[in-house]
Amino acid sequence: MEWVPLAMRIYRAKLYWNQEREFAGFDIGTGAEIRRGWSNEASDYIRANAPAQYRGFLLPKTEIGCKRRVNDIGYLATLHQNNVKLIYDDPVEEIVSNGVRTKAGKIVHADAIVLAQGFESQHPFGTLQIFGEGGISIQDHWSKPSEGVPSAYLGTCLSAFPNLFIMMGPNTLSGHLSVIYTTECQINFTLRIIRPILNGMRRRTAALAACRPTCDIVSVKPSAEKEDIDTVQQKAGNLVWATGCTSWFIDEGTKRNSIMFPDWQYKFWLRSVFIAWDDFVYTSDRSSSKAVNERNGKRLYLGIVAGGILAFGAFYLHRHRLCTYVLPCD
């Protein structure tokens, strides 16, 4: 297939559309019938493949789609093994010397304990400290437009953090498509935004750049950032993630969705290609620009002097040869 013109692109487009159309099922109202189909399919599969004693627990109790849908790649089959037991109603209370003790006081002996209880999705940078203009931390910045919950313009830019672009940032994931696709869009978006800066850097390598204004800083406007964040939350409120289930998409305190992009993914792509340039401000670091311009100015001056010397020398040698070999010199 790789040798057939456009075959791989057509195949990828088909895979994309097969997944993209599932977004219709996430709308609380219009997607209800689609979700019923998903729920029936998932429930039938669990009843057919899970051990009878676990079916009541494994069958979803929340609106399907509110939590991330996962495909079974052997989990249910594993529960049939004699050396596997699923304990779902007696949580671990304490780790002891020979295993774990449950809340009911039962000791489960273990040679190894694997912690696989998830991650803190509402703290995307962990303990990493990032500071922007005026020394503001990224956590303090989020307290202004989004009640302290992670947020960003198109999941990528923050107004007080010039030249900072976040990949897989807030509200960039989806419940139906690949994060690789979204990241590709973010990379294209970032390259388009920084293109004027890169062009300016190339111009600075030329001597005549001393005469041209350049920009080396780009930042999204606070008003554009706030409008984009508010729009995302308004749209997210109409989708299945807002139906009340416990989900790592949702901040428990504010009930804001900081993870999912609440729209069709092709719209995310369109925004990454057709940039709203009025939402951004390009400026220059005057101190660095002045130093660069002074350096380029000196290069220009030295270049002119050196060129003049070479031109005079070439003219003198040329005239001397004419006098020696063609005409008698006075």
Compute the distance between CA of residue 285 and CA of residue 208 in angstroms, rounded to an integer: 19
pLDDT (average), residues 202-213: 53
**pLDDT number for residue 218:** 95
Compute the distance between CA of residue 224 and CA of residue 319 in angstroms, rounded to an integer: 67
**pLDDT number for residue 201:** 78
Average pLDDT, the chain: 85
Pair 231, 152: CB distance under 8 Å: no
The alpha carbon of residue 134 and the mean position of all alpha carbons in its chain are separated, in whole angstroms, by: 25
Pair 124, 146: CB distance under 8 Å: no
Q: Choose the weakest-confidence range: 1-10, 172-181, 291-300.
A: 291-300
**What's the pLDDT band for 136 if we cut at 50, 70, 90?**
very high
pLDDT (average), residues 153-170: 96
pLDDT in tens, 213-265: 578 899 999 999 999 999 999 999 999 999 888 788 999 899 999 999 999 99
Q: Choose the weakest-confidence range: 62-66, 104-108, 235-239, 302-306.
A: 302-306
Q: Is the pLDDT confidence value at 325 over 60?
A: no
Q: Is the pLDDT confidence value at 292 over 70?
A: no
**pLDDT number for residue 124:** 86
Q: Is the pLDDT confidence value at 207 over 50?
A: no
The model scores a pTM over 0.85: no
Q: Which residue has the higher pLDDT, 157 or 286?
A: 157
**pLDDT number for residue 309:** 61
**pLDDT number for residue 17:** 92
Sketch out the chain's domains with CATH numbers.
Answer: 87-117 (no CATH), 133-284 (3.50.50.60)
pLDDT (average), residues 154-169: 96
pLDDT (average), residues 140-156: 94
pLDDT in tens, 6-49: 899 899 899 999 999 999 999 999 999 999 999 999 999 999 99
Q: Is the pLDDT confidence value at 132 over 60?
A: yes
**pLDDT number for residue 214:** 72
Residues 253-271: b if buried by 16+ CB within 10 A, e if exposed? eeebbbbbbbbbbeebbeb
Pair 131, 160: CB distance under 8 Å: no
